[in-house]
Amino acid sequence: MNLLIIVLLPILAAIAILLGAPARRTALFIAAFIVTATLLLYSGFEAGQPGFQRVTSYSISSDWKINFALGIDGFSLVMLLLTAVVTFAAVWFTGKIAQHEHAFYACLLLIAGGALGAFASLDLFFFYAFHELALIPTFLLIGIWGTGNRQAAAWKITIYLATGSFILLLGLLMLYRSVPEAARTFDIRDLQKVAGLIPADAQSNIFLLLLIGFGILVSLFPFHTWAPEAYASAPAPAAMLHAGVLKKFGLYGLLRVAIPILPEGAQHWSTLLIVLLLGNIIYIGLVTIAQKRLDWMLGYSSVMHMGYIFLGIASGTLLGTSGAAVLIFAHGISIALLFGITGEIRQRTGTLVLSELGGLGKIMPRAAFAFGLAAFASIGLPGFANFTGEVMVLFGAFRNGANPERFRIYQIATVLGLWGVVISAVYMLRTYRSVFMGTMRESLSGATDLRRSLRLPIGLLVAMTVWFGFFPQSFVRIVTPTFKTYFSSKP
Amino acid sequence: MTISAPTLEIAVLVLGVLILLVEAFADRIDKRSLAFAAILGLAAVFVASFFLTPAPVEVPAGSLWNFYTADALAIFFKRFALVATIFVLIMMVDCAPIVRESVPGTTHQSGLGEFFALPVFTCVGLMWMASAIDFVMIFVSLELVTMSFYVLVSFTRRNPATLEAGVKYLILSALSTGFLVYGITWVFGVTGQTNLARVAAALSDPAIESGPALFGMVLVLVALGFKIAAVPFQLWVPDVYQGAPTPVTAYLSVGSKAAGFVVLLRVLQPFFMLPQMERLLVVMALLTLVYGNLAALPQSNLKRLLAYSSIAHAGYLLIGVVCLAGEAIAFYLVSYLLMTLLSFAVLIVVAKQTGDNIEDFNGLAKRSPFLAFAMMIAMASLAGVPFTAGFLGKFYIFDAAIRYHQTSLLVVGVITVACGFYYYLKVVRAMYWETSVSDVAVPLSGLSRAAMTAMVAAIVFLGVYPQPILNALR
C-alpha cells in the first residue's frame, strides 16, 4: 500500500467533504480504509530490518535539500496504526452534529491527516509542517463545537501550541545550520549519519530548544496548563484524536530527532528532564486526585501519564526507550476510549461533576464495562499494553548507571515513578466508583446505555491494547530495530 | 524576440497616458472598461518581462546603466509591482460604486478614470525604484510613487476620514522626503558620489570620514523607515490605512513597502561595513516587531488591524535586512503580497455589505463559505501556519537570523509570532464561531472570485513548493 495514499487521502477527503460530499459516510469510509491499509502495512512489514521501508521521495526545494519524503520503520508503523485506529474510533463516536456538520468531519480528517503525515515523514520540514496542519482545525473544533469555557480553552491551546511549534522550528533550523555546509539536509536519515559532526555545545543548545518545543506540545510540566482545559472543553472525538494521537507527536519527535541526532545534548539535559517529568508524575498526579469533574480528571491524568513516557525517553537504555514506544501506543488507545465514553456520558447526563454522578453502572452497563477496561488499562494492570510499557520503562530507567552501593537520580526517579502507579490507581478507581457505583440520582434515571453499534470501535480499541498486552513481543520486535541504532555506539 | 529592460517602464508609462487620454476624450464609455484595459496592458508587460535582454556587463560611463540596473532582484520586483497593480485594479473595479458616491463631480462617472489611471503611474515608479542604483534616481522614482499616492489616498474626498488620511500622509510624507534629500546631500558631501557602487568604493577608502557619511545614512534610513512603516516612523500608518479607500490601502501596504525594502537593501549594502549601522537596524527591528504586534492585539477594526499587522511584518522583514538576506526578503514580500491583497480583497466585498469592523465578519462562514474560507487562508498565512506561503517566509527569515546569530531578534520574533496567532485568529473566530448578523449572502463578482481563487491557490502552492520564486531570483 502506497504511503502517499494513506497520508493524502484524509486531506483530500476533508476537501471533498467541504465541497459537499456526504460527511459522515465519507469520513467513516476513509477511516475504515486507513485502518485496513495500515493493518496491511503492518502485516507486510519486514521486522528486524534496519532502515526505512516503502520510501517515496519528491524534491521540493533543491536549494534547501527539502524533499517530500515518506517512509516507515517499526516505530513510525505503530504510530500510523495508532492514528488509524483512534481516527476510526473518533469518527464512529461522533454523534449528531447540530451545526456545520461537514466542517466538523473535515476538521477531524485534517487532524488525522496531519498526524499520519508527521509520523510518515522522513523530512524534518514536512514532519514539522504536517503536525501544524492540525492547529487551525483544533482551534475550530474546540471553539465551535466545544462545551464549557470553550473560547478560553481554544485560545489557550492554540497560542501554547503555536509558541511551542515556533520554538521547535528554531531548534530544527539550528540543527540544520549546525552541520557543515556540504552535509546540510532536512532528511532525518542523512542527519543521523552526520550527527557526530555537531559540536557538543551546539548539541546542548539545540536539544534544549527541542525539549521545550516538543515539551510544550506534549504538556511536559510546567508547560502543561493548556491540556486539561482543552480536553475538558473539546468535543469528545477531538479530545480522543488530540490526546490519543496528536499530542504524541512531541514524544515521537524527541525519540525520532532529538535523542538519536543529539545524544550529547540529551545527556547534558537529562537531569533537568527527570526533574520535570517527576513534576508530571507526582505533582500532576496529586492534582488529578483533587479533580471534581470527570473530564478534567481525564485531562490531568493524560498529562500525568506523559511523565512515564518521558522517563522512558530519558532512560538512555534500549529497554526503557522501547517501553516508551509501547506506552505511547497503549496510552493513546486507553485515553481515546476514556474520552469517547466520557463524551457519551456527557450527552446523556448533561453533567460531568463527580458528585452529581453515581450509580450509572446499573443503567449503563456497557459504558461501565468499557470504561472499567480502559481505566484498568490506564492504571497499568497486567494484561494491558500499558502494563508492558510501564514495566519496561521502569526497568529501563532503573538500569541506567545502576549501582548496588547507592541510588543515583535514575534510581530515585524510578522509585518515585512507582508511586505514581499508586496515585493513578487512586484517582481512576475513585472516579470509577463515584461515576458507576453508589446510589443514583433521580434526575439521571432516564439515561440510556451506549448505542450497540459502538461495540465495534470499542472492541477494536480494547482488542489492540489486550493483544499487545498479552503478546508484547509482537510489538517490541517491530520497534526495537529503530532504537537499536541509537545505542549501537554504547556498550 | 528580446526587449531591453527600460522598455517595460516606458510601455507602462505609455499605457497610463493612453488611459488618461481616452478617459478625457471618450466621455460616454463605461469607465470600468479603462480598468480592464489597464489590467490587460499590465498583464502583457508582465509577460514581456520574461523576454528581456540581459543588462550590459561593462557599463560605459555616462550611459543610462550608471543609475539603472536590470539585475535579477530588479526584474523580480518589476514583476512584483506589476502583479500587485493588477490585483489592486481588480479590487478598484469592485470599489467603483463607493468612488462614485464620494467624489464630487458633474457626471456619475466623475473621477473614475483617474482612479484607474493613477495606479498605473505608481506602478511605473515602483518599477523604476526596483532598478535604481543611484541616489538621484532613487529620489525621483520614490517621488513619482509618493505623488500618485497623495492623490489616491485622499481620492474619495467627501469622506472626512479620507481627507484626514490624505492630509496626514501628505505632511508626513513630505517631511520624510526632506530627510531623504538632506541625507543624500550628506553622503554626497562626504563621498562626492551619488552612484551606490561608487559610494561603496569611496567609503572603503580608510582616509574618508565615516561619521558624516553615517549621519547622512541615518537620515536616509529615517525616510525609508517612513515608507516601510518601521517604528518609530509608523505613526501615520493606522489612520491613513483606515481612512484611505481600501484598494489604495492595500496598494500602499504592499507596493510602497516592497519598494522601500528593495531600496533599503540596495542603499545599505555600502554602509554595512560600519558596525553602528547593524546595531541601529537591530534596535529598529526589535521595536517594530514589539510595537506592531502588541498594538494589533486590541484592535476591533479590521483595516486598523491590518495596518498594525503591516507594521509587524515590516519588523520580520527588518530581521532579513539586518542579515542582508535578499532572497528571504523577496520571498517574504511575495507571500506578504498574496496574503495582504487577499485579505483586503475579501474586506472590500464584505465591507460593502456590513462594514469593516471585525464583528461585521460574524458568521461569514454561513453567509458566504467561499469568502470565509479565503479569509481563513489569508489569516493562517499571515500568522504563519505551515503549507502557506507566509510560513515559508518566516522560515527563511528565522533561518537568516540563526545564520547570523541574532539571538535577541529570534527570541522576540517567536514571542511576537505567538501574538500574531491571537489577533489573526480573532478574525477566524468571528467568521466561524459567532452567529451571523444577517443571513443575506454576500454578492461577489466573477472577476473578484477568480482573483481570490488565484491568490488562495498561489498561497498554498508556494507554501508547499517555493522553488519557482527562488529560481526567479537567480
Interface predicted TM-score (ipTM): 0.89
Q: Which residues of A touch B384 (CB under 8 A)?
A: 166
What residues 148-207 of chain A have any CB closer than 8 A to a CB of chain B?
A: 151, 155, 158-159, 162-163, 166-167, 169-170, 173-174, 176-177
Cα A232 from Cα A183, distance rounded (Å):
46
Which DSSP state fits A358?
A: -
Size of interface A-B (CB pairs under 8 A): 80
Q: Which residues pair with B7 in a beta bridge?
A: none
Interface of A with B in 129-158 (CB under 8 A): 129-130, 132-133, 135-136, 139-140, 143-144, 151, 155, 158
Among A60, A132, A144, whose Cβ lies nearest the Cβ of B386? Answer: A132
Q: Is A63 on the interface with B (CB under 8 A)?
A: yes
| pLDDT at B474 (0 to 100) | 78
Q: B429 vs A143: CB contact, 8 Å cut-off?
A: yes
What confidence category does residue B113 fall into, taking pLDDT thresholds of 50, 70 and 90?
A: confident
Is there a contact between A62 and B467 if contact means CB atoms under 8 Å apart?
A: yes
The terminus-to-terminus CA distance of chain A in angstroms comes to: 38
Contact across the interface for A129 and B386, Cβ inside 8 Å: yes
Question: Which of B405, B409, B431, B433 to mutate to test binding with chain A, by most A CBs within 10 Å of its CB?
Answer: B433
Reported as a single tens digit per residue, the pLDDT across B184-196 is 999 999 888 888 8
pLDDT at B106: 66
Tell me what pLDDT residue B170 has: 93
- B394 in Cβ contact with B416 (< 8 Å): no
Choose the closest CB to B387 out of A129, A158, A174.
A129
Which of A99, A166, A179, A249 should we substitute to test contact with B (largest number of B Cβ atoms within 10 Å)?
A: A166
Q: Which distant-in-sequence residues (6+ apart) come within 8 Å of A138 by Cβ?
A: A107, A111, A154, A157, A158, A161, A234, A238, A242, A246
Instruction: Output the tens digit of pLDDT for each of chain A's 491 residues.
Output: 588 899 999 999 999 998 888 888 899 999 999 999 999 988 888 877 777 888 888 888 777 888 888 988 888 999 999 999 999 999 998 878 878 888 899 999 999 999 999 999 999 999 999 999 888 899 999 988 888 888 889 999 999 999 999 999 999 999 998 888 887 888 888 888 887 788 888 889 999 999 999 999 999 988 999 999 999 999 999 999 999 999 999 999 999 998 888 888 888 898 899 999 999 999 999 999 999 999 999 999 999 999 999 999 998 888 999 999 999 999 999 999 999 999 988 888 888 888 888 888 888 888 899 999 999 999 988 889 999 999 999 999 988 877 777 778 888 889 899 998 999 999 999 999 988 888 877 777 777 888 888 888 999 999 988 998 899 888 888 888 888 877 765 43
Does the distance separating the beta carbons of A176 and B399 come in below 8 Å? Answer: yes
Task: Please give the mean pLDDT across all residues of chain B.
Answer: 88
pLDDT in tens, B248-277: 999 999 988 998 999 998 888 777 666 778
DSSP A238-252: HHHHIIIIITHHHHH
Q: A175: nearest CA in chain B?
A: B402
What is the pLDDT, as a whole number, of residue A264? 87
Decide if A162 and B428 are in contact by the 8 Å CB cutoff: no
As a three-state string, the secondary structure of A386-397 is HHHHHHHHHHHH
CB atoms inside a 10 Å sphere around CB B270: 22
**Amino acid letter at B299?**
Q
| Chain B residues closer than 8 Å to A163 by CB | 414-415, 417-418
What pLDDT is stored for residue A399 in this prediction?
A: 86
Minimal Cβ distance to A61: which of B391, B428, B466:
B466
Helix residue spans in B354-406 (DSSP H)? 364-367, 369-383, 389-403
Contact list, A60 vs chain B (CB under 8 Å): 464-467
- Select the residue of A61, A128, A136 nearest B470 (Cβ to Cβ): A61
- How far A136 CA sits from the closest chain B CA (Å)? 8
Euclidean distance between CA atoms B463 and A340, whole angstroms: 35
- Check if the beta carbon of residue A157 is closer than 8 Å to that of residue A231: no
Work out the minimum CA distance from B288 to partner chain A, whole angstroms. 19
pLDDT at B470 (0 to 100): 86
Three cell numbers at B359? 464583528
Q: Which helix (H) or strand (E) holds B307?
A: helix B302-322
- Per the CB < 8 Å rule, is B433 touching A177? no
Q: Please provide the DSSP assignment of A367-418 as one string.
A: HHHHHHHHHHHHHT-TTSHHHHHHHHHHHHHHHTT--TT---HHHHHHHHHH
User: Which residues in chain B touch residue A149, judged by CB atoms under 8 angstroms apart?
Assistant: none
Chain A partners of B383 at a C-beta cutoff of 8 Å? Answer: 162
Tell me chain B's radius of gyration from C-alpha atoms.
22
Closest residue, chain A, to B426 (C-alpha): A155
Q: Please name the residues in contact with B61: beta carbons below 8 A apart, sequence gap of 6 or more.
A: none
Place of cell 458568521: B363
pLDDT at B373 over 60: yes
* Identity at A239, one-letter amino acid code: A
- Specify the pLDDT at position B62: 67
Cα end-to-end span (Å), chain B = 21
pLDDT at residue A490 in the model = 46
- A167 min Cα distance to partner chain B (Å): 7
Alpha helices, DSSP H, located in A254-293: 259-261, 263-268, 270-278, 284-289
Q: Is the pLDDT reported for residue B124 higher than 60?
A: yes
A174 with B402: Cβ contact below 8 A: yes
List of chain A residues whose C-beta atoms are within 8 Å of the C-beta of residue B386: 128-130, 132-133
User: How far does the CA of residue A177 sit from the closest CA of chain B (Å)?
Assistant: 7
For A180, which DSSP code? -
CA distance B470 to chain A (A): 8
The sign one gets for the Cα dihedral A276, A278, A279, A284 is positive
Phi then psi for residue A67, to 5 deg, are -125, 150
Contacts B415 to A, Cβ<8 Å = 163
Contact between residue B318 and residue B291 where contact means Cβ atoms under 8 Å apart: no
DSSP class of A221: T
Share of chain B above pLDDT 70, in %: 96
Q: Would the pLDDT of B439 be above 80?
A: no
Question: Nearest 5 degrees, angle CA B139-CA B144-CA B150?
Answer: 115
Higher-scoring residue by pLDDT: A59, B344? B344
| CA-wise closest residue to B324 among B391, B397, B408, B413 | B397
Write out the H or E segment, with its range, that includes residue A54: strand A53-61
- pLDDT greater than 80 at residue B351: yes
